[in-house]
Amino acid sequence: MRVAIVNDMLLAVETLRRVILGVPGHTVAWIASDGAEALTKCAQDTPDLILMDLIMPFMDGVEATRRIMARNPCAIIIVTATVEGNSAKVVEALGAGALDAVQTPTLAASAYPEHTNSLKIKMEAVARLVSENDKYKRTSEATLNRGRSSQKDHLVVIGASAGGPSALATVLRSLPRDFPAAVIVVQHIDEQFAPSMASWLDEQSELTVRIARERDKPEVGTVLVAGTNDHLVFLDWHAIGYTDDPRDSYYRPSIDVFFESVVTYWKGDVIGILLTGMGRDGAKGLKTLRDSGALTIAQDAESCVVYGMPKAAAELGAAVEILPIEAIALHVMKSLKPENQRNCVLLDQDLAG
């Protein structure tokens, strides 16, 4: 895999170069000292992956990510030295299309081996995603058919990856305070940044948004967000929690694993939504949801930052509806009970205006 480095600190560049060359099959495509230089080099030679710093002169990592994803899209991992101080910018970069974020490793890897290991794990995940994008073919999926219960509980489950925070904000801010369903979100994001993203989404929405805790129960008016590098799953018919199985999954947390646990345990009505993201995590799970009788929605190509996961879902026939991001909340509300009709009219007027 060809990996580019964008960083204005020589020591960080050398550290990242050594990490890249320490992984068999990985090479350094090019090095840029700021976002503007990266934009030019990426146009001339788009790599498989960019390790992007956040704070740089001339053009920072957020703006560089936004422009690269618009012009020459590729996988981007944010590599930042200060997690706490840059958490807001990390969320912004993820919304612009970055796939993940990690702490900058040190040249003395023995001092903080977890930083180097975390970066290598994320690079390996991207390498597999790149391979999937090159080799992906349509395959028939085994189905799991299950009759829906007459229980009136409603659940909306959402999966997202690169570009997800902004897409999630668009959906959530359009849902009213009296939205009659519980919402659970699985976003590909490292656990150290998940609380900041949840807090940011909470500011965007009339609903309460927070990190999902062990044995949490889905609750109307609350959005629960996966908050660890383990998989969020239903543990039984009414409670969620975390598991490290399957351990060999390089999507952590995995949208597929979560969606399939919903089909296994949830007894009420379900709406499954798959938003922007690289790779195809969530496509199989969305297909399982559809085959079990759920309404399933995939974001359309035009409104995606990265049309990977929704594209895979469309190719599998997993989505009942393929919609632009601005129309998803309205369609969800219309699909629920008649008590939402007034809110739907208001949303229609907002969209038209």
List domains and CATH numbers for the chain.
2-135 (3.40.50.2300), 154-352 (3.40.50.180)
pLDDT at 181: 96
Query: Which of the 8 DSSP states describes residue 338?
Result: G
Q: pLDDT of 187-230, one tens digit each?
A: 999 898 999 999 999 999 999 999 999 999 999 999 999 999 99
CA atoms of 117 and 111, how far apart (whole Å): 12
Per-residue pLDDT reduced to its tens digit, 108-126: 544 445 556 888 888 988 8
Q: Is 164:188 a contact under the CB 8 Å cutoff?
A: yes
Annotation marks residue 161 as catalytic: yes
User: Which stretches does DSSP call E strand in 122-236?
Assistant: 154-160, 182-187, 208-211, 222-225, 231-234
User: According to the model, what pLDDT value does residue 114 have?
Assistant: 55
With beta carbons less than 8 A apart as the criterion, state whether 216 and 224 touch: yes
Provide the pLDDT for residue 221. Answer: 93
The single residue of 53, 256, 269, 281 carrying the catalytic annotation is 281
Select from 26, 24, 22 the least CA-distant residue to 4: 26
| Claim: this prediction has a pTM higher than 0.85 | no
pLDDT confidence of residue 105: 85
How many residues are recorded in the chain? 353
- Rounded Cα distance between 187 and 274, Å, is 10
Told to judge if 26 belongs to the known catalytic residues of this protein, a careful annotator would answer: no
Pull the structure tokens for residue 172.
């959530």
Catalytic residue among 115, 188, 231, 291: 188
Residues of the chain with pLDDT under 50: 109-112, 135-151, 339-342, 345
pLDDT of residue 302: 97
Catalytic residue among 161, 166, 196, 303: 161
b/e per residue 245-276 (b: at least 16 CB within 10 A): eeeeeebbbbbbbbbbbbbeebebbbbbbbbb
